[in-house]
Structure 1
Amino acid sequence: MTDSAIQISVVIPLFNEEESLPELCEWIDRVMEEDEFSYEILLIDDGSKDRSWEVITKLSKENPYIKGLRFVRNYGKTAALQTGFQTARGEVIITMDADLQDSPDEIPELYSMIVQDGYDLISGWKKKRYDPITKTIPTKIFNAATRSISGVSLHDFNCGLKAYRKEVVKNITIYGEMHRYIPVIAKWNGFAKIGEKVVQHRARKYGYTKFGLERFIFGFLDLLSIAFVNKFGRRPMHLFGSLGTLMFFLGSIIAFWLLGKKIYNIYNLQPYRNVTENPLFFLALVAIMVGSQLFLAGFLGELFVKQSISKTGDYNISERAGM
């Protein structure tokens, strides 16, 4: 099968999901056969401690369309998705979780929205969820904050079920915990036609969730990082230089004002105190020093940007199956 013959690549990051993999792959295969799609399934084992890799190896031998990659350790979901994006050969890339909470029955319509309706990216929206309130409430707050900061109007940024045009995933790079912000990164990279589809959310059948509340804290920090890099990543002097110049001039104005006031009092034979005895002097001094450092940081940032070479974020893979 040539690359051009593959219509859909299904990228599935996983960690300790040995029970669900056979059922999930069988379900995807059934959907693909019914709709006569040419496809591949990429199972990215993110350093599982259970028998997930043994299951993947067995599945890849039974079905030539199933391929597996295994990390030497747990890198995280973002790393698994980035590696899957680099490996995928389909014209449309579908991502979903391995826990059977995402329904493969959604794939044909997601594919149609990309190919026929011309969307660059379709994000799933789990409008009705089967998660505990300790997970749903923070998720709503997180989504609202992300919409406000990013300007991307999606209800569910964290939904693992998404569809991408091939050009999107081949032209973005994600790292850290940025997988939930792929729509934001895609938009800021010029892929502005982003849609949303209400998808079925199923209760977890096997195992337990691998994510805790800390993901929301890290996620918010990643959002701030993305916003900064997108706006000032290639022109750091615009931020640091502006702030530095403003603080430098503010400190200088205060210092000259204090000095001028002292000279005026001396000239008019009025009582005065030394400039260094005035608290404003130290405020001015700090402003001048911080302003100079910010300006220097912006200058150094510009040098790094000029000399930087984009990296794709390679990860160590210990084994491969079916490829």
Structure 2
Amino acid sequence: MNRRARELFGHLQIGGEIKNARLGQLIVQAIEKQRVYSNQSLVLDGQQYILDLSPIVRKKEVQGIVLTIRTLSQIEELTEEISKIKMFSDNLRAQNHEFLNKLNVIYGLLKLNKYEHVMQMISSEVKERQDIISFLMSSVKDPLIAACLLGKINRSKELDVTLEIDQDSNLTSTLDIEDAKNVVSILGNLIDNALEAVREHKGNVLVSFTDVGNDLIFEVEDNGHGISKEVENMIFIDGYTTKKGENHGIGLTIVKRSVELLKGELYISKSMLQGARFTLVIPKLLNNEKEESI
């Protein structure tokens, strides 16, 4: 253990016990599968870290494991750039998929000489897109949040899921860049989870928001299977997931950390759509406190 590792794991002694459930789980996986695990999420004392595990194998037996841990701040700048590229790429892919489908329909209508139907389809498409952009520009003052919502609308079309934004929603407040990033991180993860929850039956997701009063309030709800009371107490545990495959169970841990940084609250309830509803409450006083402390 180098100096930084001793600071993080100072309670560990030779022959001692690793009490962090997520770390223990990763170590067991690395031993059993005898493989390298890279860029794994780990939360210690409320701080998120990125962990790599490399087993030392001799004669087909694991003799030990090398752990390399980095604070999230060390890779935040790179992650931010990658996230921007990924968001841009996802939006382009979703739009490309959607437009190709519609171009195929237009091509078929033209071949059938159904010119009036072509005009109606193009007019409807242009109006829908203009209405969405106009609504976001007029109702969401913060550009990062508006861009996030537009990206998720495009993503929902790719998944063939209905994502609706309540037309009575309004957000006149603007956040500083760090707070806006945290809100986008929370909203992005909650909407992604809702889209996945209804993907199988091509269901519905509803997003609403307001800043009337002393708080910013966002709600994301769906008509999926919902979340039981037993699972409610587990979903924010680092590594917990109901999805198949590896490297899941990180999103809601990131959500929890971002909510704490914003000094907000996140509530889970049953949606009027019969699925899950996540309600995010963020105090407006956050920005005022920062200004007073400068």
Under a length normalisation based on structure 1, what TM-score does the superposition of the two structures give? 0.23
Give the TM-score of the pair, scaled to structure 2: 0.25
Q: Which has the higher strand share?
A: 2
Larger radius of gyration: 1
